[in-house]
Amino acid sequence: MSKFFRIAVFASGSGSNFQAIADAVNAGKLDVHIGLLVCDRPNARVVERAKQLGIPSFVFRPKEYESREQYEQEILQRLQELEIDLVVMAGYMRLITQVLVKPLYGRLINIHPSLLPAFPGLNAVKQALDYGVKVTGVTVHYVDGGMDTGPIIAQQSLDIIPDDTEESIAASIHLIEHVLLPQVIGQIAAGQLKLNKDSYI
């Protein structure tokens, strides 16, 4: 097996974060190997991106399995076969169970488009706009199996101005994410971040 720190990315949609990670790797700015894309939607754009980048993918249809645990077992097996060091959830639209969280705790991170613990769950940008907050942002955190919960690794804020719309905020948030996520992955790969495993609940 190569000396590289090996990551897998879980995504369900467009995959612009997946692309940003791959671009950082290809530009020599991020010293990791992307071993696998895991995607639960065969028609998602991210699947096409992986093909174009020559990155192997595991694409599945959740409905074809009896339970979440069953497909997660299959995912876990692939991660273990590929000796994946870190799993990055970037727009993966499913809650994961302890089948993945327990063996991967501390090596499993998620990016969320709000300043957690504010506005977890779906449509975080709309939630922030509707609430009327003046500052929102991006959070990268370890995953503990809850809905966007777990120890926070990094956050970056973004001011909301009066003319902002959901689309304009989402665009700014993506720009932040595309820098912040590769940065955090690089720090973890370099051993600069350590999680106290006692925080596992």
| List of residues contacting ligand GRF (CB under 6 A) | 11, 13-17, 90-91, 111-113, 173, 177
Residue 87 · residue 108 · CB < 8 Å: yes
Catalytic residue among 112, 141, 174, 178: 112
The residue written with tokens 């991660």 in the block is 79
Edge-to-edge, what's the strand order for the sheet holding 86-89? 57-59, 32-39, 5-11, 86-89, 108-112, 135-142, 152-159
CB of 11 to ligand GRF, least distance (A): 6
112 is catalytic: yes
In the complex, which residue's CB is closest to ligand GRF?
A: 91
Residue 62 CA: distances (Å) to CA of 57, 73, 133: 15, 12, 36
Distance of CA 25 to the CA centre of its chain: 16
C-beta closer to ligand GRF: residue 75 or 89: 89
CB of 184 to ligand GRF, least distance (A): 12
CB of 70 to ligand GRF, least distance (A): 24
CB of 115 to ligand GRF, least distance (A): 12
C-beta closer to ligand GRF: residue 73 or 164: 164
Alpha carbon distance 131, 125 (integer Å): 10
Question: Which residues, including other chains, have CB under 8 Å from residue 28's CB and lie 6 or more apart?
Answer: none
Residue 24 · residue 90 · CB < 8 Å: no
C-beta closer to ligand GRF: residue 17 or 136: 17
**Which residues belong to the active site?**
112
